[in-house]
Chains A and B, each alone.
Chain A
C-alpha cells in the first residue's frame, strides 16, 4: 500500500468520524485542536482504520509512537517541559514541530495538540510496513 493510498484511508476515516468533508481534512491539520477530535472520535478513527487498512492501532499507541520509548522522566523535565532528548524524538515523528519556537516551552500535555493528520498517516504507514 502506497503512502498516498494510506493518506486517502486516513482522510476518509477522519472525515467520516468527525462529520467533515474530505477536503477539510488536510495533511497539516491538527487532529484535536483544528479538527476538534475528542477521545471518542480518536477511538472511532482508529476503529475505521483497522477495518479499512487492516492494522490495529490503539489510542495509547499514538502516545507511545510520539514518545518513541523514551521514559516519562527523560521525555519531560520536572516541570513537564519537553527535554532536548524529547524534542529530538518529536522531530522524527512530528517533523512540522517548530523547534526554535517551542524548545524549552512545550509542555508534555501539549504535545498531542500538535499531532496532525500527516503524523497519523506516518504512524499508520509504519504499522502497515511492519505488518508486511
Chain B
C-alpha cells in the first residue's frame, strides 16, 4: 500500500484508543460493600466466567478495566442510556477476549460507523489493565 497523500487523509478510517487501569483491591471493596452492583456492572456470562476462576476479582477487574477502555475508545465514557453490561467481554476459543456490544452502546457504534473493535487485558494480584482500539469510519462524529 502506498503512503496516502494528505488530501486522502480525510478518507482514511479513524483509529481511537482507550486504556484503563484499576486496582483489584478497589474493585473487591466495591463488590463487597455494594451488594447488587455486580449485576449492574457485569453480564451473567461475565460473572459465570469469572466465578469459575480462582482469582475471581482479578478477572472481574480486568473486565471492568476493559469496559472503561472501550468507552474511552468511543470517546464518550458511559453516556446517556448506556449500561455497563452493554459492553460485554467474551472469551473466545483460546482465551482471547472479544467485545460484544449491546443496547445503546451497540446503537452508538452503529450510528457512528464502528468498523472494528479490539481489546486486550492483563492483570496481576494488584492491578488490572486493558487497552481497546476502535476503528471508525472516517466521518464519524
Contacts and interface: CB of A to CB of B under 8 A. Distances in A.
A47 B68 contact: no
A129 interface: no
Contacts of A40: 22, 26-27, 30, 64
A44 B26 CA distance: 10
B37 interface: yes
B44 to A, nearest CB: 19
Interface in A28-76: 39-40, 43-44, 47-48, 58-61, 63-64
A44 B36 CA distance: 12
Q: How many interface residues does chain A have, given as a range? A: 10 to 19
Secondary structure of the A contact surface, majority rule: helix
Given A44-B30, A47-B37, A39 B68 contact: yes
B82 interface: yes
Interface stretch (B8-16, B72-80, B95-103): B72-80
Q: How many interface residues does chain B have, given as a range? A: 10 to 19
Interface in A1-51: 16, 39-40, 43-44, 47-48
B34 A60 contact: no
Contacts of A60: 77-82
Interface of B: 22, 26-27, 30, 33-34, 37, 40-41, 64, 68, 77-82
Given A44-B30, A47-B37, 14 more contacts: A16-B33, A39-B68, A39-B77, A40-B22, A40-B27, A43-B37, A43-B41, A44-B33, A48-B34, A58-B78, A59-B77, A60-B79, A60-B81, A63-B77
22 contacts: A16-B33, A39-B68, A39-B77, A40-B22, A40-B26, A40-B27, A40-B64, A43-B30, A44-B30, A44-B33, A47-B34, A47-B37, A47-B40, A48-B34, A58-B78, A59-B77, A60-B77, A60-B78, A60-B79, A60-B82, A63-B77, A64-B80
